[in-house]
Amino acid sequence: MDPLTRNWLWLLALIGATVALAGWPAALLAVAFLKAVAILNGFLHLTRASGWLTAFAVPLGLWLAAIWALHAVG
């Protein structure tokens, strides 16, 4: 299968997971992270750039963890 189509199907599956996980903040943010990585990796081709996917994904993951922490405190 074309890698772009595979990435699109993966994103649709993650959208389905988002619907299924309503009410679970940590899981919803984890799925948001997976969707962001799929876009960075599959559509913006960051896997072709050594180290750059990590450079984008780690701050994003830390930020989403901070959002979860703020949400959990409230």
Partner 1 sequence: MRIDDLPGELLMWVLIGSEVAVFAAGITVMEAVRLTDPAGFATAQGMLDGRMATLNTALLVTSGLFAARAERDGGRAGLLLAALGGVAFLAVKIAEYTADAARGVTMEAHPFFTFYYLLTGFHAAHVIAGVVVLVLVAIRPRRDTAQAAAMFWHMVDLVWVLLLAPVYLLG
Site string for partner 1, 7-46 (x = CB under 8 A): xx--xx--x--xx--xx-x--xx-xx--xx--xx-xxxxx
Query: In this structure, are residues 25 and 72 in contact, taking their beta carbons and an 8 Å threshold?
Result: yes
Give CA–CA dist 73/23, Å, rounded: 16
Other CB atoms within 10 Å distance of the CB of residue 46: 19
Site string for partner 1, 44-63 (x = CB under 8 A): xxx-xxxxx--xx---x--x
- Residues at the contact surface with partner 1, assessed by CB under 8 A: 4-5, 7-8, 11-12, 15, 18-19, 22-23, 25, 28-29, 31-32, 35-36, 39-40, 42-46, 48-52, 55-56, 60, 63-64, 66-67, 70-71, 73-74
